[in-house]
């Protein structure tokens, strides 16, 4: 099973950030609807199991 760290929507939290924890990151995905485009960010860990939105990093 793939993990979030392999996903193109995973962004690691930098070590100097207030909310830094080892392995912690943000899942940032684009939402498109009739109002336009926006971004949804939620905290995830690099070893979290991937979800249905997973796209492998290139
Ligand atoms: S929660 Fe899903 S979309 Fe977000 S980083 Fe993990 S696998 Fe990717």
pTM of the model: 0.89
What's the confidence (pLDDT) of residue 25?
98
Pocket of ligand 1 (CB under 6 A): 4, 7, 9-10, 27, 29, 44, 48, 50-51, 53-54
Residue 25: count other Cβ atoms within 10 Å of its Cβ: 19
CA angle 3, 12, 4 (to 5 degrees): 10
What's the mean pLDDT in 36-52? 97
Ligand 1 centre from 41 Cα, in Å? 10
What's the mean pLDDT in 19-39? 95
Give the distance from CA 31 to its chain's centroid. 13
């Amino acid at each position: 099973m793939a993990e979030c760290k392999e996903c193109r929507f995973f962004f690691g939290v930098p070590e100097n950030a207030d909310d830094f924890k080892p392995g912690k990151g943000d899942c940032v995905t684009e939402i498109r609807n009739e109002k336009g485009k926006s971004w949804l960010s939620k905290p995830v860990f690099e070893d979290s199991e991937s979800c249905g939105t997973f796209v492998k990093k290139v």
